Amino acid sequence: MMIRSNALRAGLVLLALLAGLLTASPMVVTGILTALGLAGAVALAGARAQQAPALVPVRVRDRRRR
């Protein structure tokens, strides 16, 4: 079964993380939070990179027309 909704997928991941946090050591909790923070930063940077193209085509004027 493939989950297409990002909100549902995120909810299931958070539920699994909360269940894991109840049985995990503090170092594991810190590692999970760090990984989530890095993944969020990478996703945010990727979303911003898709919004604004790096190379914008610019029309060059023909100098012979002057």
According to the model, what pLDDT value does residue 58 have?
64
pLDDT digits (tens, 9 = 90+) for 24-64: 788 887 888 899 899 888 888 777 666 656 566 666 666 66
Model-wide pTM > 0.75: no
Q: How many CB atoms neighbour CB 21 within 10 A?
A: 13
Give the pLDDT band (50/70/90) at residue 11: confident
Q: Indicate the domain borders of the chain.
A: 25-50
Q: Is it the case that residue 65 has pLDDT exceeding 70?
A: no
User: If residue 14 lies in a helix (H) or strand (E), which one and from where to where?
Assistant: helix 6-21
Please list the alpha-helical segments (H only) found in the chain: 6-21, 26-51
